[in-house]
């Protein structure tokens, strides 16, 4: 046994911004329970420096936790030209919606565009299935 197995994976506090995606929307039209929909929806897009801080590789699973819930999704390097350390992107889906607090701060509208989460490696874990979210 190595000493490293007793160390917790690094955690990173990030701000999530959700967005719409035409390809994910097309997959939704086929079926919310289809593999393609999950493949396009259960992801978090991260800045390359944030992926490095988490000590993970592109395509590995991560746990994303908020005060509301936690889900396991695949991490992807965002590919955006501009750096966005500390800000991650998730497509508007059941995975991102599960993380949103029901506290609307008196507006009646949840905060879809700017909410905080903690992200940590979930190496070897499976992506949270849609049936587990509902």
What does the pLDDT read at residue 14?
Answer: 96
For the domain with range 9-133, which CATH number is right: 3.30.420.40, 2.40.30.20, 2.40.40.20, 2.60.40.10?
2.40.40.20
- Give the lowest-confidence range in 1-15, 72-86, 96-110: 1-15
End-to-end Cα, the chain, rounded Å: 39
**Domain boundaries, given as residue ranges, for the chain:** 9-133
Reported confidence tier of residue 8, pLDDT bands at 50, 70, 90: confident
Q: What average pLDDT does range 88-101 have in this prediction?
A: 91
**At a CB cut-off of 8 Å and minimum separation 6, what does 18 contact?**
89, 90, 91, 92, 96, 112, 113
Query: What residues form DSSP beta bridges with 11?
Result: 120
Band (pLDDT 50/70/90 cuts) for residue 17 is: very high
Cβ contacts of 43 within 8 Å, gap of 6 or more? 73, 74, 75, 76, 90, 91
């Amino acid at each position: 046994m190595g000493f490293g197995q007793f160390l917790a994976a690094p955690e990173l506090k990030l701000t999530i911004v959700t967005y719409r995606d035409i390809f994910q929307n097309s997959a939704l039209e086929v079926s919310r329970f289809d593999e393609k929909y999950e493949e396009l929806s259960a992801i978090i897009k991260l800045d390359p420096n944030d992926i490095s801080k988490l000590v993970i590789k592109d395509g590995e699973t991560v746990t994303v936790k908020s005060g509301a819930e936690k889900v396991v999704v695949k991490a992807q390097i965002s590919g955006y030209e501009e750096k966005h350390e500390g800000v991650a992107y998730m497509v508007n889906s059941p995975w991102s919606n599960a993380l949103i607090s029901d506290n609307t701060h008196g507006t009646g509208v949840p905060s879809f565009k700017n909410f905080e989460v903690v992200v940590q490696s979930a190496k070897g874990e499976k992506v949270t299935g849609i049936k587990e979210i509902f």
